[in-house]
Amino acid sequence: MSKKIFSGVQPTGNLHLGNYLGAIKNFVDLNNDNQNECIFCVVDLHAITVKQEQDQLTNNIRETAATFIASGIDPSKSIIFNQSKVHAHAEGSWILSCMAPMGWLNRMTQFKEKAGKDKEKASVGLYIYPILMASDILLYDATHVPVGEDQKQHLELTRDIAQKFNKDFGCEDFLRVPEPLIKKNFSRIMSLKDGLKKMSKSDPSDLSRINLTDTKDEIINKIKKAKTDSLPIPNEYQELNERLEAKNLLGIYSSILDQTLDKTLKEFGGKNFSDLKSQLAEVLSSKISPISDEIKKLIDDQNYLDKVLAEGANKAEVIAGKKIKEMKKIIGF
């Protein structure tokens, strides 16, 4: 069955292995299936919910597009564009924010995490961020949304908002209720330094993550320094529940090689972490270094990246423009 795919990544720098294994690698597989229509968005409006430096933001938008392409997304098959270039996203977000009850937003755990203790100082944009995300998805009638586990709650909210809009305006099926595509075992890649914390671009320690622009030596060094425990690697999956760092490294190895965790446990069960670490460093550097080299090459070709983004925005505008027009008509504008 053909799928309409939509997903987004924030251009906030330091795209890392979590973004790659949780999302971008799946984008590539979906792009490679000729039956799918794919749209991948650099969500720059989301990025400004926290403070960004202007020049850096401009560069990060290009770098995120470069990362999509370097990872294997083909811009002649999939639409790649940045959100701020298509007006309908912000307009749709306003309309949906008038439909969504505050109680639904108050439940969003990511806002609580990101706003931290000083909620009063967080931007209003950060609070309504999931509504902009709903607008992104619903404007394209997306059937499937590939994301990491941390976006699950936002997708549930998107589904609720779509259903409420359809019900409130008596327009059954106008907003398509999308399905999340979340990889079962590997949708939450954890920090290399703490198995309880998600791998994240905002972690102050660069050793906690593998950046997609890291060199081979940096990757080897980070894997060498990754936290483990003193026991040998277990044979059984159940034993991993108490050993989060081991579970994470085995998960990363399985995910990058597209193999089951069971197969990886058979390979390494009973061995020491040094065996796993040396293999993992090798596999990661062989998969990530070519992406890293390609990102660096593409970043030097600003004209090409700007052209991809502009062409993508033109195509996205046609789809989203039509949908927002229909939406406004339904509302009575």
Q: State which residue, 148 or 195, has the beta carbon closest to ligand TYM.
A: 148
Catalytic residue among 198, 222, 277, 323: 198
* CB 235 to ligand TYM: min, Å: 26
Dist. CA 244–CA 246, nearest whole Å: 5
Q: Which of 3, 114, 152, 216 is catalytic?
A: 114
Residues that bind ligand TYM (CB under 6 A): 6-10, 18-19, 22-23, 43, 46, 133, 136-137, 145, 147-148, 150-151, 154, 187-189, 198-199
Least distance from ligand TYM to the Cβ atom of residue 19, Å: 4
Please state, in angstroms and rounded to a whole number, the distance separating the CA atoms of residues 138 and 136.
6
**3-class secondary-structure state, position 116:** coil
Toward ligand TYM, which CB reaches closer, 19 or 264?
A: 19
Closest-by-Cβ residue to ligand TYM is: 22
Closer Cβ to ligand TYM, 100 or 137, answer by number: 137
Q: From its phi and psi, is residue 229 left (phi > 0), alpha (psi between -120 and 50) or beta?
A: beta
Match 């052209």 to its residue by tokens. Answer: 307
Q: 215: which 2 tokens?
A: 């060199």
Please name which of 58, 60, 46, 47 lies closest in space to residue 14, comparing C-alpha atoms.
60
Please indicate whether residue 114 is annotated as part of the active site: yes
From the number of C-beta atoms within 10 Å of its C-beta (0-12, 13-18, 19+), residue 51 rates as: exposed
201 in active site:
yes
**Residue pair 10/43 in contact by the 8 Å Cβ criterion:** yes
Nearest-5° Cα angle at 18, 13 to 21: 120
Nearest distance in Å: CB 271, ligand TYM: 25
Nearer to ligand TYM, 38 or 199 (CB): 199
198 is catalytic: yes
Q: Considering the complex, state which of residue 41 and residue 333 has its C-beta at the smaller distance from ligand TYM.
A: 41
CB of 330 to ligand TYM, least distance (A): 22
Minimum CB distance to ligand TYM, residue 234 (Å): 23
Q: Which of 201, 216, 287, 315 is catalytic?
A: 201
Contact present, 27 and 167 (Cβ < 8 Å): no
Q: Which residues are part of the catalytic machinery?
A: 114, 198, 201
